[in-house]
Chains A and B, each alone.
Chain A
Amino acid sequence: MALKKVLLAPLDPVHDIALKIINRGLRQAGFETVILAPDLPLEEIIQTIIDEGVETVLISRTLGYGVGDLLARFADLTDAAGIRDKVKIAVGGMSVRPELAQELGFDAGFGPGSSVDETIAFAEGREFVKKSNLERKHEGDMTASYTYNVKHNRIRELLGQITPMILDWAEGKTSPGVQRAVIREELWDVKKWRDHAEAKEFSAEYPKYCEESVREFYTKGVLHPKTRLFSQKDVEKLKAYVWRSRRDLQTPYLQHNLTRPIIFNQYGTGCPYMDIAHIKASEAYGADGVVHFDPSWGARTEGLYDGFLTHQEDGTVITPANLNRIYRALEYGTLWQVRAHRGLNTPETVVLAGKIGANLTKINICYGSLGAGTDPSRLTVDAIAAIKYAARYKMPFDVVTNEELSGVPAYKAFAGMLIVSHLGVALGGRPILQPLFCFSPEVMIGGQMNDNYVDFNMAKILALRAIIDAPIWPGAPIGFLTQTEDRVQSSASTAFHASLAAMLEVDAISIASSDEAYSGGPITVASRIDTLRAVSEGFRFFGHSRMEVNAKARQWADKMVEGIEGVLETVAARGDFVQALYDGLLGSREDGAYPGRAGADTVVQK
C-alpha cells in the first residue's frame, strides 16, 4: 500500500520549526512527507501539491497584518487549480483558531497548544480525541508490582520473630476505637446513608463507645465548639462551584516523559469548601492525588462527629458528610488518601474512608505513638484492626516516619516502619514505605547535609531497597525543614527534592505548598500551584537523566542497614514490641520521642 503523502509549507519568511516537529511526527506515524523551504511563492506551492500528488497540505503562518488576505488567496488558488476538493488543507500558527481557519477556507486550524497528534489525526482523516491527563493518572495500585520479599537475611529473621510477638500480645484485646470500627463496619451502610435512610441500630449503638462530647452530638445535637454546620443552600453553591471547575478541565501531566513518581498534595484547611478549592486547583495543575489532614483534637477524641462541618483551625474534621462531599468533588483518577496513622479513631477512619471510596490510608504504630501522642498499647491494638480493614477495603497504606522530625534517627524510624510494614503484609495489607526527604534534627546535628541534601536522602532509599522489595513514597512532605517563607526558595527546594525522588525512581511523593514554612495564616491555593509548577519544571529539566550514587551515600546506606538490624535485634530480644515502644528502643526520650498518652488504659480484654 502506498504511503499517504503530506506536504508541509511554511508561509512565514523564516519560522518553520513547528512544521519540522510535525514533519518528524508524521514520518514516525508512517506518512511520506514533503517539506518546503519557507516563504515560497503561493503559486509554486500549489504547483508542488499537484506535482507531488499529496493528499494533505499543512501550511504554517503567524497571523499578522495582511496575513488573512494571504491565506484566503492561498485557499482561492487551490480552488482555481482544481485541487481544493482532492486535498485536505490545514493552517497552523500562533493566533490561529479553528473557526478562523474555516472562515478563510481551510479544513482545519491549529493554534497554540495544538499537538503533533492532532495534525496526525487530521492527516489520517479521523477525529482527534484529546486524551485527558486525568485518564493517564494512576488509579492503579502502586504496590502491585512489589513482592515484599525481605532480602536481608538477618532482618528477615528478626521481623519474622517480631510480627508474631505483636500479634500474640494483641490477641484477645480490644478498645473503644476497635469497637466503634466494628459498629461502623457492620451497622453503617454508606449507600443507605447517601440515600438519607435512617440507621437506627447504628445510632443507638455508636454513641455508647464515644466520649461525652461526641455522645452529646448524637444525643442532643451539640457540635464541637470549633465547628459549625453548612446549610443546604451552601451545599448547592458548592455543587455549582465544583461543576464550574470541571468544565473544560484539562490537566497537565507533571511527570513529563516519566511514569513515576505519583504526586500528592496535602489539604486540610479546616473547611471542606476551601479544601475542595485546593483540590480542584491541585487537579487543574496536575497533582495525581490528595491527602486529607484532620485536626489534632480529632485524633484525641473518642468517636467521630457527623454532618457537613467547617472548622476554625487547621485540619478538616473527619465526618462521613465531609469525606463524602470531598470524595464527590474529586475527578476520576485522582487518588485520595485519608490518614489514620495516629489517634483514637484509627480503625474507624479506615472503615469510613474505605466505605466512602478512599484509595489509600496511612498507618504507623511507631510514629503515631512516639511522635503523634497516642498511647503505644492503644495504637497497637487499633492499628492491627486498621490494617485488617485497609486490606479488606483494598487500600494500601503508607507507613510514615515523621518521628524523624522529633529527632529520632532515620535508622530507628526505619526499623519501626519495617516492623509495621512486615506486620501489615502478614495481615494481608499492602504497605508503602514512607521515608522522609527532610532536613531532620539528626542531620542538623550530625552534619550529613552540610554539603548537600542529596546523599543522605539517597542513602535512605538505597538502604530500604537493600532490605525489602516494597513501594517507596517519600514525604511527607518532601524537603521538610528545607523550605523557607520565600516562595521562590520554597518552590525550588520542593522541585529539587522531587527531581531527586524521580531520579531514584520512587513510586510517589507528597509535596508541600510554597507556604510550607509560613505559619502566620492559612496556606493559599496559589502557593500550592507554585510548587506543582516548580516540580513540573524539575521533571522537565532532568527527564530520565540520573544522579550518580557516590561513596558517601553508599556508606550511609550501609550504616543505616546496620543500625536498623541493631534496633530490630534489641526489639526481638525484649520480646515485647509494645514495651519496646514505651522503653524507647524505637525512639527514646533523649532522641525526642515520647510515648503518647491519648487512649492510655483503654485497652481491654474482649
Chain B
Amino acid sequence: MTVPDVFAYVLDALDIETLLVCASEEEGKRIALELAKKLGFKDVDIVFIRFQGSGVRVRIRAYINRPGDQYAWLDL
C-alpha cells in the first residue's frame, strides 16, 4: 500500500506560531518568511505579527490547499 504524502492530510493550511528573537517587526517579518521558505512552503502569509520586548510573536501561515484546488485529502 502506498502511503500518501503527509501534506495530503492537511485540509487547508499549516500555521506556525512562535516567538522570533529580533530587533523589529520588519526584521521579524523577513525572518518569518525566510523560515517558511526554508521549510519548503510556497504559498505563505503572515497572519499575525507583533513586536514586543525581545522579538516578534508571529503566526505564519502556509496554505497547502486553497478553495477550489484539487484536494489530496479527498483521496485518503
Alpha-carbon distance between A271 and B74 when the two chains are bound, in angstroms: 14
Assess the A277–B11 pair: CB atoms within 8 A.
yes
Assess the A524–B68 pair: CB atoms within 8 A.
no
Alpha-carbon distance between A312 and B59 when the two chains are bound, in angstroms: 25
Which A residues lie within 8 Å of B65 (CB)?
Answer: 274
Alpha-carbon distance between A310 and B50 when the two chains are bound, in angstroms: 35
Given contacts A270-B67, A274-B67, A485-B59, 11 further A-B contacts (CB under 8 A): A228-B68, A238-B74, A241-B74, A271-B68, A281-B11, A310-B67, A311-B68, A484-B48, A487-B47, A487-B48, A518-B48
A515 at the interface (CB under 8 A from B): yes
State how many residues of chain B have any CB contact under 8 Å with chain A. Answer: 20
Question: Which residues of chain A have a CB within 8 Å of any CB of chain B?
Answer: 228, 234, 237-238, 240-241, 269-271, 273-274, 277, 281, 310-312, 484-487, 515, 518, 520-522, 524-526
Assess the A524–B61 pair: CB atoms within 8 A.
yes
Alpha-carbon distance between A273 and B72 when the two chains are bound, in angstroms: 12
Which B residues lie within 8 Å of A487 (CB)?
Answer: 47-48, 59
Which A residues lie within 8 Å of B67 (CB)?
Answer: 269-271, 274, 310-312, 522
Which A residues lie within 8 Å of B63 (CB)?
Answer: 521-522
Assess the A270–B68 pair: CB atoms within 8 A.
yes
28 contacts between A and B (CB under 8 A): A228-B68, A234-B74, A241-B73, A269-B67, A273-B71, A273-B74, A274-B67, A274-B68, A277-B12, A310-B68, A311-B68, A312-B67, A312-B68, A486-B50, A515-B47, A518-B47, A518-B48, A520-B61, A521-B45, A522-B12, A522-B63, A522-B66, A522-B67, A524-B11, A525-B11, A525-B12, A526-B12, A526-B15
Please report which residues of chain B, range 26-76, place their CB below 8 angstroms from some CB of chain A when the two chains form the complex.
Answer: 45-48, 50, 59, 61, 63, 65-68, 71, 73-75
B63's nearest neighbour on chain A, judged by CB, is: A521
Alpha-carbon distance between A230 and B31 when the two chains are bound, in angstroms: 39
State the Cβ distance, B75 to closest chain A Cβ, in Å: 7
Which A residues lie within 8 Å of B73 (CB)?
Answer: 241
Assess the B71–A520 pair: CB atoms within 8 A.
no
State the Cβ distance, A335 to closest chain B Cβ, in Å: 23
Which B residues lie within 8 Å of A485 (CB)?
Answer: 47-48, 59
Which B residues lie within 8 Å of A525 (CB)?
Answer: 11-12
Which A residues lie within 8 Å of B45 (CB)?
Answer: 520-521
A274-B12, A487-B48, A520-B47 are contacts. A237–B68 as well, Cβ < 8 Å?
A: no
Flag B1-38 by CB within 8 Å of A: 1 or 0 each: 00000000001110100000000000000000000000
Nearest 5 pairs of A and B residues by beta carbon: A271-B67, A269-B67, A237-B74, A485-B48, A274-B67
State the Cβ distance, A238 to closest chain B Cβ, in Å: 7
State the Cβ distance, B10 to closest chain A Cβ, in Å: 10
Across chains A and B, the number of contacting residue pairs, with CB separation under 8 Å, is 66
Question: Which residues of chain B have a CB within 8 Å of any CB of chain A?
Answer: 11-13, 15, 45-48, 50, 59, 61, 63, 65-68, 71, 73-75
Which A residues lie within 8 Å of B68 (CB)?
Answer: 228, 270-271, 274, 310-312
A490's nearest neighbour on chain B, judged by CB, is: B48
State the Cβ distance, A486 to closest chain B Cβ, in Å: 5
Assess the B61–A521 pair: CB atoms within 8 A.
yes
A269's nearest neighbour on chain B, judged by CB, is: B67
Alpha-carbon distance between A487 and B46 when the two chains are bound, in angstroms: 12
Which A residues lie within 8 Å of B66 (CB)?
Answer: 521-522
Which B residues lie within 8 Å of A274 (CB)?
Answer: 12, 65, 67-68, 71
Assess the B13–A524 pair: CB atoms within 8 A.
yes
Q: Most A CB atoms within 10 A — which of B46, B47, B61?
A: B47
Q: Most A CB atoms within 10 A — which of B48, B68, B73, B75?
A: B68
Alpha-carbon distance between A281 and B12 when the two chains are bound, in angstroms: 12
Which B residues lie within 8 Å of A515 (CB)?
Answer: 47
State the Cβ distance, B51 to closest chain A Cβ, in Å: 13
Which B residues lie within 8 Å of A240 (CB)?
Answer: 74
Which A residues lie within 8 Å of B15 (CB)?
Answer: 524, 526
Which B residues lie within 8 Å of A270 (CB)?
Answer: 67-68
State the Cβ distance, A371 to closest chain B Cβ, in Å: 26
Alpha-carbon distance between A483 and B10 when the two chains are bound, in angstroms: 26
Which B residues lie within 8 Å of A269 (CB)?
Answer: 67
Which B residues lie within 8 Å of A522 (CB)?
Answer: 12-13, 63, 66-67
State the Cβ distance, A49 to closest chain B Cβ, in Å: 50
B43's nearest neighbour on chain A, judged by CB, is: A521
State the Cβ distance, A530 to closest chain B Cβ, in Å: 10
State the Cβ distance, A225 to closest chain B Cβ, in Å: 13
State the Cβ distance, A518 to closest chain B Cβ, in Å: 5
State the Cβ distance, B45 to closest chain A Cβ, in Å: 4
Alpha-carbon distance between A234 and B68 when the two chains are bound, in angstroms: 12
A526's nearest neighbour on chain B, judged by CB, is: B15
B17's nearest neighbour on chain A, judged by CB, is: A487
Which A residues lie within 8 Å of B46 (CB)?
Answer: 520
Q: Most B CB atoms within 10 A — which of A240, A524, A525, A526?
A: A524
B65's nearest neighbour on chain A, judged by CB, is: A274
State the Cβ distance, A500 to closest chain B Cβ, in Å: 25
Alpha-carbon distance between A487 and B48 when the two chains are bound, in angstroms: 8
State the Cβ distance, B65 to closest chain A Cβ, in Å: 8
